[in-house]
Every structure is written in structure tokens, then in C-alpha cells.
Amino acid sequence: MGDMTRTPLVLAFALALASGCNEAQSATATETAGNTAETSLSGSSSGSTSGSTSGSTSGSTSGSTSSSTSGSTSSESTSAGSATVPDEDYDAVADDFVCILDWTQVRNFRIHNFLGHLDDAIAVAESVDGGDYPVGTVIQLVPSEAMVKRGAGLSPESGDWEFFELKPTASGTEIGVRGFAEVVNQFGGNCLDCHAKAEPQWDFICEKGHGCDPLPFTDEQIAQIQMSDPRCD
């Protein structure tokens, strides 16, 4: 079975993620969603949910974390390409995650937009100045992990990115873990801890040269992991 040949590489990838981000283990244990204001992000700018932001540049305040973000306004950004419409959001479901080879490749990663903003998303990805990805953008490096851009102001500390740990199989995708600051992969690597190191103009996208600690994988190995996606046939 093909599964047996691809498993070691995927496991090795996850292990390397864990070991590359040592501070993750202790930092995340006590965090709860929506309650983490300590990340040192700059440039995360839009909206606010109650109590969870400092330095938010737009003035929306609603007293309830469970209410929608209506009334929040996207802050102005000098960077390219934000197509965010106020109040837009995308709450992904397991079936949204398909063979990653079906999505557009930009350098190492695969990108798609669930709300029809793919052109804008690619424009941001290709901008030399960076920018904020439009709501509904999904980006994956490997079949088992994804980032989805949620509505403005839902999670200022993660730039409104929701992180996913996925379980792709030949019969489809299950969502293992999803969330904002608290998502840790199965070996203890916290997504946000690593991705928050990207300089603000890159909107939490690490790639290479954006300020994140590098992954110990060659581009060829990453391509190989993508091609091993069990949903692609």
C-alpha cells in the first residue's frame, strides 16, 4: 500500500516541526482560545474581540466574543491586495480540504480561496511588498496542515488565520485540531509560535526569508510530501 511508503517522510516532517520550535511546548499548554494577548505581533491590525488585543488600530468594540465582527472596519494597509469585504468570513469544513495538488502552486505552497478571491490571494503572494491575504484564502505546505483566513477581527493575534491539523486519507479529510493561537501539531509544535515570526508585511506566511526559523526540508522534499497526498488520484 502506498500509505506505508509515505508515512515515514510525513512523520519525519512533523517531528522536525516539533523540534524546530522549542518554546512551543510550554507556551501553549494553558492557553485558551481568544484569551491570549501576549503575542508580540506587530502589524496585526484589524478589528477586535473583547479583551484580546492591544494596539489594535481600528476602533471596533463589542462586548461579546461570541458576537460577530459586524461594525469592525479593516484598517488601512499600505500593502497590496486586501480584498476583504467587511463581515466576510469563511468557516471551513472537512470536505473543503481536497488534494492539495488541485490548488494553485506559488513557490513551495498551494493556495486557494473559498470565496472567489483567488486572484487577489495570488496577487498578495506574488507581491514583493507582501500584503494581507483576502478572507477565505487557504494555504497549505503539506497535506496535513492548513491555514485559512477568517473574518477580519476574529483573531487579531494570529492575523485572523485559523490553523488546522488535518488527517487526509484516500477517502477524504478529517479535521484533527483547528483554532488560532492554541493549535499544536501532534509533536508539540505550535503553529502560531513559528508563523508569528514572519515579518508583519508577510501576514504570518513563513516561506523563506520572512523571518521564521527555517524547516529542515529541501524544496524537493516538500514537493515529494505534497505529491504523496493520499487524496490525489
| Contacting residues toward ligand HEC, per CB under 6 A | 17, 20-21, 108-109, 139-141, 145-147, 163-165, 183, 185, 189-191, 194-195, 205-208, 212-215
For residue 166, give the C-alpha cell.
488535518
Give the residue with the Cβ less far from ligand HEC, 80 or 222.
Answer: 222
E strand spans, 20-171: 104-106, 109-113, 137-140, 145-149, 161-169
Contact of 143 with 168, CB cutoff 8 Å: yes
Query: Could you give the C-alpha distances from 21 to 38, 192, 203, in angstroms and in order?
Result: 18, 10, 19
Give the residue with the Cβ less far from ligand HEC, 41 or 139.
Answer: 139
Give the residue with the Cβ less far from ligand HEC, 88 or 180.
Answer: 180
Q: How far is the CB of 67 from ligand HEC (least distance, A)?
A: 27
Give the residue with the Cβ less far from ligand HEC, 27 or 212.
Answer: 212
Q: How far is the CB of 92 from ligand HEC (least distance, A)?
A: 12
Quote the radius of gyration of the chain (alpha carbons, Å).
17
Query: Could you give the C-alpha distances from 41 to 8, 157, 208, in angstroms and in order?
Result: 34, 7, 19
Q: How far is the CB of 62 from ligand HEC (least distance, A)?
A: 28
Q: How far is the CB of 119 from ligand HEC (least distance, A)?
A: 18
Q: How far is the CB of 223 from ligand HEC (least distance, A)?
A: 11
Give the residue with the Cβ less far from ligand HEC, 87 or 207.
Answer: 207
Q: How far is the CB of 41 from ligand HEC (least distance, A)?
A: 15
92 CB-contact burial (10 Å; exposed 0-12 / middle 13-18 / buried 19+): middle
Q: How far is the CB of 139 from ligand HEC (least distance, A)?
A: 4
Give the residue with the Cβ less far from ligand HEC, 51 or 216.
Answer: 216
Helices (H), the chain: 2-19, 24-28, 118-126, 191-195, 219-227
Give the residue with the Cβ less far from ligand HEC, 122 or 194.
Answer: 194
- Taking Cα atoms as reference points, which of 157, 139, 138, 148 lies closest to residue 27? 157
- Compute φ and ψ for 200, nearest 5 degrees: -55, -35
For residue 107, give the C-alpha cell.
513557490
